[in-house]
């Protein structure tokens, strides 16, 4: 039997995956490896794709293919021969004008040529891997070039940040909806592609043991930590304008909060899950000034290496007041969570890289084991680690061997690496969902706006950042945030 080849009548038709901003860091580090895994058959599911990169660089197909090959080989995703074979069969490039007012006519023409030459399905993904400042003019150019509609379905993908405040988020959504129905829009927050984030739904709703105690009667408080030990990593131009709240809290931490606090959806259809997440955001009590602490790192030592202060980083303004650390106390005004604080914190130049949801349960009402005071009573805790050591651990009390009653805390734990080996990158999961048309792990327009609405008061009157030494867990004022409730951050 004759083997089907790309473009032959016997091969299943491929979809077209167009990346605007295809010569940037995101394409090199994340998208090329994920697209290779999906289309070359090394992922769990294989999809036939034709990939068309686009940017302002005056490249030809060969130059972009070399770029893709280098990304795969340097990232140890494929050997050189396999990478070259894949790139030559799958990858093309179309340059776009420096000034988008000239339009995207050449790109539209190239898309039509690709679909005809390779007998593609007519289905298109348009992926914006661009800086946020380029979103509005690019979206207008896409719409005016007629690229929002095609012979098959067209799906529009946009990376965070989705605006920089409520007003800009509303404007961006309105602009997108001018040419795309919400059912065709995929707003990516890559945290939602992580297996452990997705597992939150399974963990909560498939295990009655936990769902039955997931409420104000049994839980004392919840801590959500997204810690980075790195500094700016060549992102000073963006970060000094954004800060930690815009960069991390409004997106990543808000997503983890909604998944932790949401009610049981009626089913796992995308809108049912996202409806429950929006309800959480709408139930959050207003953020008061005393509920927020900002910090900015000073010089210190991280991982045994001396590092400069934030203001000494290349590209940062000498007197910058941008926050590199945020801690907040939030309360969800719902039947399940009334009165229970959620403590969120994120920061750069902290002691370690860690993304974790930690649930602290209440102490036993009566203590029989020794003469501990109220503040020393032992409470169970559940830590759900999103990265880097994905899994969870439940702290329980056990009796040490011997006649005396002596207790120790030990962990019942599960680790993905032990059970399943290394996990795939979240972008593989998200791109496959885009191709399937599954929006469950993507952020809906009203969810974006509700999240900005929660944090708008903080942005309008931001607190002065408190200094903290690089390599510490942030300014001491963040400890006071919990101490006011008689609580403290869980030691690590």
**For residue range 137-170, what is the model confidence (pLDDT) as tens digits?**
999 999 999 999 999 999 999 998 899 999 999 9
Q: Is the confidence at residue 226, as pLDDT, over 70?
A: yes
> 351: how many CB neighbours lie within 10 A of its CB?
17
Domain for residue 238, yes or no? Answer: yes
* Opening angle at CA 409, ends 408 and 412, nearest 5: 135
The pLDDT > 70 percentage for the chain reads 96
Higher pLDDT, 375 or 279: 279
- Residues 367-381: b if buried by 16+ CB within 10 A, e if exposed: eeeeeeeeeeebebb
Higher pLDDT, 420 or 351: 351
pLDDT tens column, 380-401: 899 999 988 899 999 888 888 8
Tokens 């998208």 locate to 31
Classify residue 332 by burial, with Cβ atoms within 10 Å: 0-12, 13-18, 19+: buried
Domain for residue 87, yes or no? Answer: yes
Q: pLDDT confidence of 304, banded at 50, 70, 90?
A: very high
Domain for residue 70, yes or no? Answer: yes
pLDDT of residue 363: 83
Helix, strand, or coil (residue 369): coil
- 143 and 282 belong to one structural domain: no
Between CA 278 and CA 280 the distance in angstroms is 5
pLDDT of residue 10: 58
CA atoms lying within 13 Å on the CB side of residue 346: 19
> 184: how many CB neighbours lie within 10 A of its CB?
19
From 177, 190, 221, 252, active-site residue: 252
Domain for residue 186, yes or no? Answer: no
Residue 359: give the domain boundaries: 192-424+444-483
Pairing of strands 305-307, 300-302: antiparallel
Q: What is the CATH number of the domain that holds 38?
A: 3.40.50.720
The pLDDT > 90 percentage for the chain reads 74
pLDDT of residue 404: 75
pLDDT of residue 371: 60
Between CA 276 and CA 132 the distance in angstroms is 28
Higher pLDDT, 377 or 425: 425
Pull the structure tokens for residue 418: 């032990």
Residue 321 backbone phi and psi in degrees, to 5: -110, 20
Q: Is the confidence at residue 318, as pLDDT, over 70?
A: yes
Q: Is the confidence at residue 37, as pLDDT, over 60?
A: yes
Contact between residue 100 and residue 77 where contact means Cβ atoms under 8 Å apart: no
- 132 and 197 belong to one structural domain: no
Instruction: Among 159, 179, 205, give the residue marking a domain's end.
Output: 159
Domain for residue 312, yes or no? Answer: yes
CA-to-CA dists, residue 123 to 34, 117, 432, angstroms: 19, 15, 14
CA atoms lying within 13 Å on the CB side of residue 328: 28
CA-to-CA dists, residue 62 to 67, 89, 350, 417, angstroms: 9, 12, 42, 38
Q: What is the CATH number of the domain that holds 412?
A: 3.30.360.10
Of 87, 150, 142, the closest CA to residue 124 belongs to 150
Domain for residue 3, yes or no? Answer: no
Higher pLDDT, 173 or 5: 173
Pull the structure tokens for residue 358: 């930690």
pLDDT of residue 351: 96
Between CA 455 and CA 245 the distance in angstroms is 8
Tokens 């104000």 locate to 216
Q: pLDDT confidence of 3, banded at 50, 70, 90?
A: very low
Of 455, 386, 431, 346, the closest CA to residue 159 belongs to 431
Catalytic (active site) residue 252: yes
- 328 and 471 belong to one structural domain: yes
Q: Is the confidence at residue 436, as pLDDT, over 80?
A: yes
Domain for residue 144, yes or no? Answer: yes
Q: Is the confidence at residue 219, as pLDDT, over 50?
A: yes
pLDDT mean across residues, the chain: 91
């Amino acid at each position: 039997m004759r083997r089907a080849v790309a473009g032959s009548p016997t091969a299943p038709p491929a979809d077209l995956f167009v990346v605007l901003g295809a010569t940037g860091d995101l394409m090199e580090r994340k998208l090329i490896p994920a697209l290779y895994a999906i289309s070359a058959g090394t992922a769990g599911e294989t999809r036939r794709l034709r990939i068309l990169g686009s940017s302002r660089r005056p490249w030809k197909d060969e130059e972009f293919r070399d770029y893709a090959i280098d990304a795969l080989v340097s990232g140890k995703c494929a050997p050189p021969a396999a990478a070259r074979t894949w790139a030559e069969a799958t990858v093309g490039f179309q340059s776009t004008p420096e000034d988008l007012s000239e339009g995207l006519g050449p790109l539209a023409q190239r898309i039509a040529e690709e679909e005809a030459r390779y007998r593609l399905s007519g289905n298109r993904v348009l992926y914006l891997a661009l800086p946020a400042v380029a979103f509005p003019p690019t979206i207008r150019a896409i719409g005016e070039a007629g690229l929002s509609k095609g012979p098959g379905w067209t799906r529009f993908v946009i990376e965070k940040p989705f605006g920089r405040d409520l007003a800009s988020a509303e404007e961006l959504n309105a602009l997108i909806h001018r040419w795309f129905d919400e059912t065709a829009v995929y707003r990516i927050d890559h945290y939602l592609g992580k297996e452990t984030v997705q597992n939150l739904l399974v963990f909560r709703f498939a295990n009655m043991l936990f769902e039955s105690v997931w409420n104000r009667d049994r839980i004392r408080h919840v801590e959500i930590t997204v810690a980075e030990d790195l500094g700016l990593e060549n992102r000073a131009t963006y970060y000094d304008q954004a800060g930690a709240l815009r960069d991390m809290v409004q997106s990543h931490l808000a997503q983890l909060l909604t998944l932790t606090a949401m009610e049981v959806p009626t089913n796992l259809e995308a809108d049912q899950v996202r409806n429950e997440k929006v309800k959480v955001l709408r139930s959050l009590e207003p953020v008061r000034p005393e509920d927020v602490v900002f910090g900015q790192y000073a010089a210190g030592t991280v991982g045994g290496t001396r590092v400069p202060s934030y203001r000494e980083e290349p590209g940062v303004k000498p007197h910058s007041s941008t926050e590199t650390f945020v801690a907040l106390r939030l309360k969800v005004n719902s039947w399940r969570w009334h009165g229970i604080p959620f403590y969120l914190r994120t920061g750069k130049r902290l002691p370690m890289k860690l993304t974790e949801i930690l649930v602290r349960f209440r102490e036993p009402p009566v203590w029989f084991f020794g003469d501990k005071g109220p503040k020393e009573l032992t409470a169970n805790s559940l830590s759900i680690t999103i990265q880097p050591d994905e899994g969870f651990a439940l702290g329980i009390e056990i009796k040490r061997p011997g006649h005396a009653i002596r207790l120790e805390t030990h962990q019942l734990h599960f680790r993905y690496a032990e059970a399943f080996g290394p996990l795939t990158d979240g972008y593989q999961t998200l791109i496959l969902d885009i191709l399937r048309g599954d929006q469950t792990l993507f952020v809906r327009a009203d969810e974006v706006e509700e999240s900005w609405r929660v944090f708008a008061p903080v942005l309008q009157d931001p607190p002065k950042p408190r200094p903290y030494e690089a390599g510490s867990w942030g300014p001491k004022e963040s400890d006071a945030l919990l101490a006011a409730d008689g609580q403290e951050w869980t030691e690590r």
